[in-house]
Amino acid sequence: MIEPEVKKRISGLKFALLSPDEIRRMSAIKITTADTYDEEGYPIDRGLMDLHLGVIEPGLRCKTCNGTVKECPGHYGHIELAMPVIHIGYVKEIKEILESTCSSCGRIKLKDDELAVYRPILEKTILNGEESLEALDIVRKIISEASARDVCPHCGAEQHKITLDKPTTFRENGKKLSPKEIRERFEKIPDDDLIFLGLNPKSA
Tens-digit pLDDT profile for residues 3-29: 667 778 888 777 788 889 999 999 999
**What does the CA dihedral 31, 36, 42, 45 come to, rounded to 10 degrees?**
-20
Please tell me the predicted confidence (pLDDT) of residue 14: 77
* Residue 169 per-residue DSSP state: E
Please tell me the predicted confidence (pLDDT) of residue 129: 72
Please tell me the predicted confidence (pLDDT) of residue 201: 87
Question: In whole angstroms, what is the distance from residue 105 CA to residue 199 CA?
Answer: 19
Q: Which segments within the chain are labelled E, that is strand?
A: 162-165, 169-172, 175-177
Please tell me the predicted confidence (pLDDT) of residue 2: 65
Please tell me the predicted confidence (pLDDT) of residue 1: 58
Question: In whole angstroms, what is the distance from residue 176 CA to residue 166 CA?
Answer: 13
- In this prediction the pTM is 0.79
Backbone phi, psi, residue 82, to 5°: -65, -35
- Which residues of the chain have a pLDDT value below 50? none
Closest CA to 170 of 99, 113, 107, 80: 99
b/e per residue 39-75 (b: at least 16 CB within 10 A): eeeebeeebebbbbbbbeeeeeebbbbeeeeeebeeb
Please tell me the predicted confidence (pLDDT) of residue 132: 80
Please tell me the predicted confidence (pLDDT) of residue 12: 78
Backbone phi, psi, residue 108, to 5°: -60, 140
Backbone phi, psi, residue 99, to 5°: -75, -30
- Round to the nearest angstrom and report the end-to-end CA distance of the chain: 46
Query: Distance between alpha carbon 196 and the CA centroid of its chain, in Å?
Result: 17
Work out the widest C-alpha separation in the chain, in whole angstroms. Answer: 73
Strand partners, 43: 37
